[in-house]
Structure 1
Amino acid sequence: MKKILPVFSYLFHPIFIPFLGTFFYVVLDDNYFTLPQYLVLFIQIIIISILLPLTFFYLLRTFGKIDSIMLSDISQRKIPLLLQIMLMSILIAKSITIDRYFELFFFFSGGLFSTIIAFLLLFAKIKASIHMIGMSALTVFIIGLSIHTEINIINTVVFFVAMNGFVASSRLEMKAHTKKELAIGFVCGMLPQLLLLYFWL
């Protein structure tokens, strides 16, 4: 089991959370978009939330600013988180707007707030788990979609609740975080999503 646990850190890396949130939004929400519109949405998400961060990662690694995509060192987190804040702001302002993708807008807005909180905590020498931020945010959003659409997806909810535990165990096994840092990350991801549920449920 100890050899398997690290796999969860890669399968549910924060870089994939925006894509997963968008996937469940498309599957569950009562949208009336055409296939080309869905394709454009996913292409934008993939470019801005996956490809560009990976490009920046390799650039930063080339210049010796970071040594791993897991960003285990607190001193290496400021630039990637700042870049993430900028990319998410662009995505919300230009693509995932409130008039186009109402519920998804609040998911990404919550993610932006969580990222800003994680960035600010660095100045207090607090390393919140970005993995747990992503997993807890995604789980709350999926639960919110289930309530909003009145679709029973209890098995999916249970799965992601369990994945929160596996990802947390994975981070502990890899010695990337303490239990306190995992708990802080969980709250940082969950709280903005819970607060924003008020505006779209």
Structure 2
Amino acid sequence: MLFQLITKYFLKPFSYIFHPIFISMYGAILYFFFTNNINYLAEMYLSLIQIFILTLLLPISFYSLLKIFKKIKSFTEATLEERRLPIFIQLVLLYLLLKFTVLETHFPELFMFFQAGFISAFLVFISVLFRFKVSLHMIGCTSLTVFVLIFMSYLEIAAINTVALLILCMGFVASSRLYMKAHTPLELIAGIVIGGLPQILVWFYNI
């Protein structure tokens, strides 16, 4: 009984802390924190505001509208039918972020993070059309971990503890999704692949 209570109150919060809607801000904050480029402070604050609006504020607003119109029931447990419109909206907002912000010119590493995120979102949209429920939580957590690992290696930043913590969190998120019976192991593995592979391909092959 005690073990079940500890598991419940320890694992479940990871599904909220690492909800896909927060991953973009986590990635941007970690990038700006570790690069600490004082030459582009104005551009950094502008980018943070743009990322906040396009990846967090607007998606939450759309989510609230969809919930009001009973198109979505849960913040963390969306069915295949409930995923289609939010993922399409995410694709549009990520396109706007890539097309009309200063990321590409001033923060190319962060631009590639969102470029890979757009590819992941597109693959999720395709998976929904084929009625396969990929774990969005694992996509987000994996993409964040791989991005941080790559850009720290690329910029020669020594922050192995941060990477180790993110990898540990990936395990907790996966355990949380299994505990909540939100996904099967196959759906979690698919999420890891769809989240991590585009990050690698964009960085090393410029797709």
Q: TM-score range by the shorter chain?
A: over 0.9
Pick from 28, 39, 54: which aligns with 1:33?
A: 39
Shift of 1:178: 0.9
1:17 — aligned with what?
23
2:127 — aligned with what?
121
Which one-letter code corresponds to 1:16 in the other structure?
Answer: F
Structure-2 separation of matches of 1:189 and 1:146: 18
Shift of 1:154: 0.9
Deviating beyond 4 angstroms after TM superposition, the runs of 4 or more aligned structure 1 residues are: none
Q: Which moved more, 1:96-105 or 1:171-180?
A: 96-105
Shift of 1:99: 1.7
Secondary structure class of the residue paired with 1:127? coil
Residue 177 to residue 44, structure 1, CA distance change in 2 (3 Å): same
1:47 — aligned with what?
53
User: CA contact under 8 A between 2:47 and 2:103: conserved in structure 1?
Assistant: no
Percent sequence identity over aligned pairs: 40
Structural RMSD (CA): 1.5
Pick from 47, 55, 63: which aligns with 1:57?
A: 63
Unaligned runs of 5+ in 2: 1-6
User: CA contact under 8 A between 1:114 and 1:188: conserved in structure 2?
Assistant: yes
Which one-letter code corresponds to 2:43 in the other structure?
Answer: Q
Structure-2 separation of matches of 1:25 and 1:35: 13
Secondary structure class of the residue paired with 2:138? helix
Which one-letter code corresponds to 1:124 in the other structure?
Answer: F
Which one-letter code corresponds to 2:41 in the other structure?
Answer: L
Shift of 1:169: 0.7
Which one-letter code corresponds to 1:177 in the other structure?
Answer: H
Pick from 124, 134, 137: which aligns with 1:131?
A: 137
Shift of 1:199: 5.3
**Deviations 1:59-84 (CA, angstroms, capped at 9, x unpaired):** 00111111011243111000000000
2:95 — aligned with what?
89
Q: Which moved more, 1:163-172 or 1:96-105?
A: 96-105
1:7 — aligned with what?
13
Pick from 169, 187, 194: which aligns with 2:193?
A: 187
Unaligned runs of 5+ in 1: none
**Deviations 1:116-147 (CA, angstroms, capped at 9, x unpaired):** 00110011111111110011100011001111
The TM-score normalised by the length of structure 1 is: 0.94
The TM-score normalised by the length of structure 2 is: 0.92
How many pairs were matched up? 200
Secondary structure class of the residue paired with 2:72? coil
Structure-2 separation of matches of 1:34 and 1:137: 25
User: CA contact under 8 A between 2:43 and 2:102: conserved in structure 1?
Assistant: no
